[in-house]
Amino acid sequence: MTALDLSSPVAVVGTGTMGQGIAQVALVAGHPVRLYDAVDGRAREAADAIGARLDRLVEKDRLTGAERDAARARLTSAESLDALADCVLVVEAVVERLDVKQELFRALEDVVGDDCLLATNTSSLSVTAVGGALRVPGRFVGLHFFNPAPLLPLVEVVSGFATDPASATRAYETARAWGKTPVTCADTPGFVVNRVARPFYAEALAVHELRAADPATIDAVLRESGGFRMGAFELTDLIGQDVNESVTQSVWQAFFQDVRFTPSLAQRRLVESGRLGRKSGQGWYDYRDGAERPGPHTAPPAEAPAYVVVEGDLGPAAELVGLIREAGVEVRAGDGYGAGRIVLPDGGRLCLTDGELPGSEDLVHFDLALDYRAATRIALSASEGVRPGLLSGATGLFQALGKEVSVVGDVPGMIVARTVARIIDLAFDAVARGVATPEDVDTAMRLGVNYPLGPFEWSRRLGGTWARDLLSHVHEWEPSGRCAPSLALRRHAAADAREGTPS
């Protein structure tokens, strides 16, 4: 099954930001495009707005003047649905209400041919439910673009329960012909991205609600240690707190209030107060004129130890050994067995967080980093009864490596580690339930939300048992079930452990 012929007309119904973006993508790819909106005059306004964006593409040398003129000639506004009768694809981008979408598609079926592909851009509703009332539900598919559609490459091609495989394939090939990177997925709440991404927000909010760190510090650790492009609080301020919470609520309800997707009370209160983020002037941060952005908690300078003893296997943090040597701190070899630890001259131990609480006056945990060499900040955590001087020595060691240090509260799994582990877990669970392939999940999370690695790439880097072990420990301390490792992750870890066992 091939992509739709570029000479065939495509329609977009709903001319808001997303509808205009999808129309622009199809138009630049070469299709004749027809815009329709139920509100009188909006389709014409949208055509003018798209024309203005084409002008800007010419100014940026992304289109030639001739290409722009040809594209403008292919773009028309429709006064009624009847004008879409000969279209081979109609993409809907109207309000996220099931009844509105169903009514629209029933009306479209009376206009277009039975071979016309019908698609919804819904991000939160069931594709199966939207298409359930159709006379020919097999030609109905989800085409979930990401905003802004002309810039972001990912498109989730969602098959509803009644979608014909040929329709999904045609939609996939068409999205690819439009220059996008499509991934296929089943019709489950949140599809791939909005399902697997929930822990990125949820764990940051959980750490904040446990009063272990403030938003600015959590964001800085996620960016500067975890390698994420934005922290969870600044990203939700950009998205809109109401929008982000609505998606979380939708996924939670659609999964019959599965505890793994439980919304945050702190975010609910923020929405109730009208602090919706950048668009309202206040969210987690204050964006009003003259407001000062709070900085992360950063520890004051401390003295580095003269030497350290490295014992056991540091696992994902093994790169620290070379960095410590490069910083001029002597590294002595200790016991080579057991869990890895860095021992300071006074006997205090530094360990990569494993999901346990430090719980000892002689132990300081440090957080996971995407790349310990490139990381510019490291988070440390210790119990309230930590021995005086130990936290200072740990701080001085990481500062000697050129890192800023943020000391956060005693929370299982800290910030980056628990976030990454839960993302990995939901990814394994999604694949086990047939939502998408591991390759498509990784592609979706890199391109849809700009993660530095896909969940399966992370799992391979960290080891097959790492996420299960960390989440098992977090679950022991927080036994709500929210962080309990899924059956799919447990099976993967058990298989990985068997493969690694000497025969």
Which are the catalytic amino acids? 123, 144, 156, 194
Report yes or no: 92 and 13 within 8 Å, Cβ to Cβ: yes
**Residues 440 and 183 sit within 8 Å (Cβ to Cβ):** yes
Q: What is the largest CA-CA distance in the chain?
A: 81
| Tokens representing residue 402 in the block | 């050129």
Tokens 């964001």 map to which residue? Answer: 219
Alpha-helical runs (H) found in 226-304: 232-239, 241-254, 265-272
Spatial distance between the Cα atoms of 176 and 195, rounded to a whole number of angstroms = 23
E strand or H helix at 500 = none
Q: 120: Cβ–Cβ under 8 A, 6 or more apart, which residues? A: 91, 92, 101, 105, 127, 130, 131, 140, 141, 142, 143
How many Cα atoms within 13 Å fall on the side-chain side of residue 499? 9
Tell me which residue of 35, 371, 431 sits closest to 228, measured CA to CA.
Answer: 371
State the Cα–Cα distance between residues 219 and 170, nearest whole angstrom: 41
> From CA 487, how far away is CA 477, in angstroms rounded?
19
DSSP tag of 114: T
> Amino acid identity of 207?
V
Measured between alpha carbons, how far is residue 343 from residues 166, 338, 384, 403, 460 in Å?
Answer: 60, 14, 20, 19, 28
Residue 296: is the preceding peptide bond cis (ω within 30°)? Answer: no
For the four alpha carbons of 400, 402, 408 and 412, in that order, the dihedral sign comes to negative
CA gap 203, 264 in Å, rounded: 10
DSSP strand E in 208-357: where? 307-311, 330-333, 341-343, 349-352
Helix (H) / strand (E) element for 198: namely: helix 198-209
Strands 154-159 and 181-186: parallel
Helix (H) or strand (E) holding 497: helix 487-499
Residue type, 33: V
| Cα separation values, 74 from 18, 23, 65, Å | 19, 11, 14
Q: Which residues of 65-79 are buried (b: 16+ CB within 10 A; e: fewer)?
A: eeebeebeebbbbbe
- The residue whose two tokens read 């629209």 is 104
